[in-house]
Amino acid sequence: MCSRRKVAMKTVLFACVHNAGRSQMAAALFNAFVDPKKATAISAGTEPAKEIHPEVIDVMREVGIDLSQLKPQKLTDELAQKAQMLITMGCGEACPVVVGILRDDWSIPDPKGKSLEAVRFIREEIAKRVFDLLQKQGWASQS
């Protein structure tokens, strides 16, 4: 008889300084296209803003993802301990360091105050990287 191993669901933490743009887009896109039985994403910032950038809300709404009810959250030790992978979003010296988990840095410009066209370009760059990650890890939704 075959025994089935239960594979633990992975959590990916997308982090930046303000948690008001790049990391919110990355987590939302990840969660929209991941197989929810395999992985999930959360996002946080080292110095969270009061709200998500309005231009980010607008361009995400264009692809059917509503971020309007979300609020930036602080990256705490407790939140970081839930993750098995940390992806920082080009925040340089201010990027968080979480010891003991896989880490990558995606150097992506901050969308704050940029035109909708520029924020769309940033969204598409994040989407490409999210899709690549999902494919590489075998976490992509099959539907």
What is 11-134's CATH topology? Rossmann fold (3.40.50)
Percent of the chain scoring above 90 in pLDDT: 73
Confidence of residue 14 (pLDDT cuts 50, 70, 90): very high
Q: Do strands 85-88 and 102-105 pair parallel, antiparallel, or not at all (unpaired)?
A: parallel
The pLDDT of residue 93: 65
- pLDDT, tens digit, for every residue of 67-77? 999 999 999 88
Backbone dihedral region for residue 27 (phi beyond 0: left; psi -120 to 50: alpha; all else: beta): alpha
- pLDDT, tens digit, for every residue of 101-138? 888 999 999 999 999 999 999 999 999 999 999 999 99
Alpha carbons 91 and 78: distance in angstroms, whole number: 21
What's the Cα-to-Cα distance from 29 to each of 61, 75, 77, 115, 129, rounded to whole Å? 12, 19, 24, 20, 10
pTM: 0.91
Give the residue, 134 or 92, on which the prediction is more confident. 134
The pLDDT of residue 56: 98
